[in-house]
Structure 1
Amino acid sequence: MKKSLFFAAFLLFATHAKAWWDPGHLVTAMIAYKFLNPNAKKQVDRLTKVIERDYPYANHFIALATWPDDLKAEGVTSFNTWHYTDMPYNPNGVALPPRQEVDILWAIRQAESVLSAPHARDIERARHLAFLAHFVGDIHQPLHSTSYYSNDLPGGNAGGNAFPVSAFGKWRNLHQVWDDGCGFLSSYNDIRPYGKPKEPLTENQINRIEALADSLIREFPPEHIIGIRIPDEDFWALESHKLAIEYGYRGVQSVNENGWKKYIQPNDPPSGLYLANGQRIVKQRLVMAGYRLAMILNQQFPEE
């Protein structure tokens, strides 16, 4: 009973957090930008200038990808459910709550619809360009697709936010571990740190993100990725769901000499093996999100 009360209290404060901290969104948008056709790049640059009235720090397309999280940080809650979908990981077969209908899948479709609407105002197109850039990134973060359900967590664990980890203050929960790319993105967290006043990206910051994007493109070129051109957000969410279970909630912490695997448990510190496996997945998901975002934008703004 005490355990159930603890988790119930925890969930009062555990909500779905922002997916990928800013560096993840910046690099995904940079990868996409590099694969835009000339007309798409021209339109994206034009709409970026339009949104400056709402978001004066959007001095480059990649900065748009962080705007929806900045809205959350400013207390705007209208779009909170747009950042995730809760596909269930339910190994114990507990009764599930109704599925959220207005979620990230809906939000991506809505953004595409506004971008292609012939009579949409430019400011609406610009805002939905920012939403699209952000949510295509979000849907590729595995824990933004999946919540774990159990008798203690009948409402789900909010995408791992109610899965505490011991990480010496670096991460408080499993969701944060994955937002930070399992440590892969940690060295870039000085770029637009969450909760700090935003400023336009500096040339040095843009160059650092571009160098990271280039390294990921070299490691995972588009022609080597199976399914990269599938234009289906439901499929992308299912990919993330499977990865969230295998590498997130059931990520391997260690393997003994007999081959027995120890899986991560609440309050564990993520092991080196867990983080290494996670970083491999993170890199693939970042680059896939970038390629797929470029694919959508090239369809929205075909070559003239």
Structure 2
Amino acid sequence: MRGLALSFAHRRRPAWLGVLLLLALLLPQPASAWLGEGHRATGALAYDLLEQHDPEAIAAILGLMQAHPDRARFDSQLGELAGRDRERETFELMAIWPDAVRGTAYDHPVWHQSQRIVSSVRSVLPYAFGSAQAEFARNLTVARDTAAPDAERAIALCWVMHIVGDMHQPLHAAMWMSWRFPITDAGGQWSWVRPAPDAEPVRLHRFWDSAGLAGDLALSASGSLEASLVRDPPPEAETIEPDPPTAFARWIAHSRALAYEVVYRGGRLRISPSPRSASVLPPGYVEQARAVSRTQLRAAGHRIGALLTGLR
């Protein structure tokens, strides 16, 4: 993985350096979480929360976005939209911007994840691969710093929104290691399943990126996921802890628990390293994945809104 970032729980383990180097060379590039529609939904939900509780924050954020160095990209996508539609669409585009700039100078592949092994051999490599946790804290600090240049704050806002969304996708926080996956399944990127007996094999990570809809989300009309999430009952009201990185760490821990319990089913899910031998997902798995994904997306959107409340 290009530019692999490691979060070390213990700094004095030179015996593991060879293993870590091997992982750095072999793990694939980080994948996008939730596809575009999922991230758009979190941006729209964050806008809705601020519209109800802190419209001044919306004005402040839109003002900062005028200084975004990649503003031309936003303007071309916003087109002739005006008023509330333009504002809400801006929030959606902010949430997907870090994926839109893959391969450019703005790209930071390792900011999208913080993966730990969640199988029983997790003590072999007790490290997090990816720097999402550190970059969330750093970018949030920049976004809230009224003394920082507006352009830097605008970029940081996009990353805060995106990283929060990414880390609510369980496979951006976890990966599986076993005798079938001796160098891990890279968060489902190297493990294959079939959503249905007549379905084509799909990477487990891709399946979860599509919000448990096994590809349907990628084909859905723009805004359909966001509209359905808005209609869903809102999650319980949540107040972000005084120290947001502490709250963020708790969200990651919950995603890892979901990865172990729901995604991998405690090791009972049959995943294959080859598409040719991919097994059909067990009964009820697709429905459970859809329910968990919708809950996670709603939580991410509302948490983004809570984090941006009070921004000026």
User: Is contact 2:65–2:151 with CA below 8 Å preserved after alignment?
Assistant: no
The AA in structure 1 aligned to 2:233 is F
- After superposition, residues 1-304 of structure 1 pair within 5 angstroms as 12=26, 14-36=28-50, 37-51=54-68, 52-53=70-71, 55-56=73-74, 57=76, 59=78, 60-72=90-102, 74=103, 78-92=107-121, 95-96=124-125, 98-100=127-129, 103-167=131-195, 172-183=202-213, 186-187=216-217, 189=219, 205=222, 208=224, 210-215=226-231, 219-222=232-235, 224=236, 229-230=240-241, 231=244, 232-250=247-265, 263-266=269-272, 267-301=278-312
Q: Percent identity?
A: 26
Question: Within 1, Cα distance between the matches of 2:172 and 2:67?
Answer: 29
Question: Within 2, Cα distance between the matches of 1:110 and 1:144?
Answer: 19
SS of 2:189's equivalent in the other structure is: coil
Q: Following TM superposition, by how much is the alpha carbon of 1:87 offset from its aligned partner in structure 2, in angstroms?
A: 2.0
SS of 2:33's equivalent in the other structure is: coil
- Unmatched 5+ residue regions in structure 2? 1-21, 79-89, 273-277
Question: Within 2, Cα distance between the matches of 1:80 and 1:68?
Answer: 9
- State the TM-score, normalizing by the size of structure 1: 0.76
The 1:94–1:129 alpha-carbon spacing in structure 2 relative to 1, beyond 3 Å, is: closer
The AA in structure 2 aligned to 1:20 is W
Question: Within 1, Cα distance between the matches of 2:26 and 2:199?
Answer: 21
User: Is contact 2:97–2:158 with CA below 8 Å preserved after alignment?
Assistant: yes
Q: Following TM superposition, by how much is the alpha carbon of 1:42 offset from its aligned partner in structure 2, in angstroms?
A: 0.7
The 1:293–1:187 alpha-carbon spacing in structure 2 relative to 1, beyond 3 Å, is: same
**1:200 equivalent in structure 2:** none
Question: Within 2, Cα distance between the matches of 1:27 and 1:170?
Answer: 27
The AA in structure 1 aligned to 2:298 is V
Q: Following TM superposition, by how much is the alpha carbon of 1:75 offset from its aligned partner in structure 2, in angstroms?
A: 5.5
After superposition, what is the alpha-carbon deviation per residue over 1:7-54, rounded to whole angstroms, capped at 9, x for unaligned?
x99x94733211110000000111111001111111122233333535
Q: Following TM superposition, by how much is the alpha carbon of 1:126 offset from its aligned partner in structure 2, in angstroms?
A: 1.0
Q: Following TM superposition, by how much is the alpha carbon of 1:123 offset from its aligned partner in structure 2, in angstroms?
A: 1.2
Q: Following TM superposition, by how much is the alpha carbon of 1:213 offset from its aligned partner in structure 2, in angstroms?
A: 3.5
After superposition, what is the alpha-carbon deviation per residue over 1:109-149, rounded to whole angstroms, capped at 9, x for unaligned?
11101112232111111111111111110011111100112
**2:5 equivalent in structure 1:** none
SS of 1:55's equivalent in the other structure is: helix
Tell me the C-alpha RMSD between the 2 structures. 2.9
After superposition, what is the alpha-carbon deviation per residue over 1:59-95, rounded to whole angstroms, capped at 9, x for unaligned?
32211111111222x4658511100011221314562
Question: Within 1, Cα distance between the matches of 2:149 and 2:225?
Answer: 31
Question: Within 1, Cα distance between the matches of 2:227 and 2:120?
Answer: 41
User: Is contact 1:30–1:209 with CA below 8 Å preserved after alignment?
Assistant: no
- Unmatched 5+ residue regions in structure 1? 1-7, 192-204, 253-261
The 1:90–1:134 alpha-carbon spacing in structure 2 relative to 1, beyond 3 Å, is: same
Question: Within 2, Cα distance between the matches of 1:43 and 1:188?
Answer: 32
After superposition, what is the alpha-carbon deviation per residue over 1:182-227, rounded to whole angstroms, capped at 9, x for unaligned?
1087245456xxxxxxxxxxxxx45x45523322xxx3323x36x6
